[in-house]
């Protein structure tokens, strides 16, 4: 029997994954909030707002009926922005059966609670298997069938492998990983560093500056991850270093593009409006800043970006603060050996 998949969220990433799964022959239903957008897509077969260059396959159904998008599905993909997940789960959880696998593809940390998405899902669906799918994967490229590699992480090996098989194609390679915490944090925290990389570009700084931000940013990501229970080696993989590279260097990245505007002197709210889509890194910066204080660890790049976004700090002063910090030995940050299996 053909696999039945529900995609909750019709942004660029949800649409791209819906296209990928439908092209594999699965029965895919994508849910969107706005009835007018559903009607437009069903009429044109194009998600003009998010992926205007991609024609949707006929077996990708579009609906704004949430219950219908959940009914009898083997897996449910959470593809909305992080701050919208709790609201959707509040409305959806009574319709979800315990045998349905929940797959999160958003990349963020809940602002008010500082919870990872797996923790939010567990509040509503404690009996369901949970998988996070993450890695260096721009929706625009996946929808055009360009070679891409991601990671499927779950505490349950069978669920991780099921999602690996579900998404695997000759152009979409999927690895598995038992480290849900590390994969979730890698996907979320790299957006902060991408904002910094964009700010650097907006200031017309060069490759040296961006390389320093990315390298030291990775140390911050791993430092917080280790404190929160992640396997530190995960940050050297696809959901860590891989996603960091693609998000800091590509103009597909909303976070980098927003950072460029901020570096050019545009106010944060105006930068978000110009991007026209959710910029996850802005809220994640606040979450990570508060998590660093909660766990009593240093995250200087995150702290300076927080100052720029939320305290009106001058971007050049923020860079100067990073450069004149107390001198340190690079090897004070130790990468440790960890167990890598379930």
For 92, residues 6+ apart whose C-beta sits below 8 A from its C-beta are: 8, 66, 70
CA angle 5-8-10, nearest 5°? 110
Of 195, 109, 105, 190, the closest CA to residue 150 belongs to: 105
Phi-psi region of 151 (alpha: psi -120 to 50; beta: other; left: phi over 0): beta
Tell the burial category of 124 from Cβ atoms under 10 Å away from its Cβ (0-12, 13-18, 19+): middle
CA atoms within 13 A on the CB side of 128: 29
The two tokens of residue 327 are 């001198």
Q: Is residue 153 within 8 Å of 160, Cβ to Cβ?
A: yes
Q: What share of the chain is helix, strand, coil (3-state, %, to 5)?
A: 55, 15, 30
Secondary structure string (H, E, C) spanning 200-246 = HHHCCCCHHHHHHHHHHHHHHHHHHHHHCCCCHHHHHCHHHHHHHHH
- Among residues 190, 210, 283, 286, which one is catalytic? 190
Give the chain's radius of gyration (CA, Å): 20
Cα separation, 213 vs 225, whole angstroms: 18
Cα separation, 9 vs 84, whole angstroms: 10
Q: Is residue 103 within 8 Å of 78, Cβ to Cβ?
A: yes
> Residue 148's CB: how many other CB atoms inside 10 A?
21
**Residue 190 annotated to the active site:** yes
Q: What are the C-alpha distances in Å from 62 to residues 9, 103, 205?
A: 10, 19, 44
Catalytic residues: 190
């Amino acid at each position: 029997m053909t696999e039945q998949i529900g995609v909750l969220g019709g942004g660029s990433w949800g649409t791209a994954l819906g296209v990928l799964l439908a092209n594999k022959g699965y029965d895919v239903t994508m849910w969107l909030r706005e009835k007018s957008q559903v009607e437009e897509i069903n009429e044109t077969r194009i998600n003009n707002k998010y992926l205007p260059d991609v024609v949707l396959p006929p077996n990708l159904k579009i609906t704004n009926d949430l219950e219908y998008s959940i009914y009898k599905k083997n897996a449910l993909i959470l593809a909305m922005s992080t701050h919208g997940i709790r609201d959707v789960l509040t409305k959806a959880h009574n319709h979800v059966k315990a045998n349905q696998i929940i797959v999160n593809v958003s990349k963020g940390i809940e602002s008010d609670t500082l919870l990872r998405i797996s923790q939010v899902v567990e509040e509503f669906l404690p009996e369901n298997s949970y998988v996070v799918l993450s890695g260096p994967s721009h929706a625009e490229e996946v929808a055009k069938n360009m070679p891409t590699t991601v990671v499927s992480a779950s505490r349950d090996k069978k669920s991780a492998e099921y999602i690996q098989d579900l998404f695997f194609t000759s152009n979409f390679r999927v690895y598995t990983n038992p480290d849900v915490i590390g994969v979730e944090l890698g996907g979320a925290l790299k957006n902060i560093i991408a904002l910094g990389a964009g700010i650097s570009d907006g200031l017309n700084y060069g490759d040296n500056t961006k390389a320093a931000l990315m390298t030291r940013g990775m140390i911050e990501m791993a430092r917080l991850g280790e404190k929160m229970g992640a396997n530190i080696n995960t940050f050297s993989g696809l959901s860590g270093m891989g996603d960091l590279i693609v998000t800091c260097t590509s103009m597909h990245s909303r976070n980098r593009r927003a950072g460029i505007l901020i570096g050019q002197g545009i106010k944060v709210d105006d930068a978000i409006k110009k991007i026209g889509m959710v910029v996850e890194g802005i809220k994640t910066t606040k979450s990570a800043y508060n998590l660093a204080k909660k766990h009593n660890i240093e995250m200087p790049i995150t702290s300076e970006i927080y100052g720029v976004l939320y305290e009106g700090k001058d971007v050049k002063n923020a860079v100067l603060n990073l450069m004149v910090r107390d001198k340190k030995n690079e090897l004070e940050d130790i990468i440790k050996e960890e167990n890598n299996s379930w």
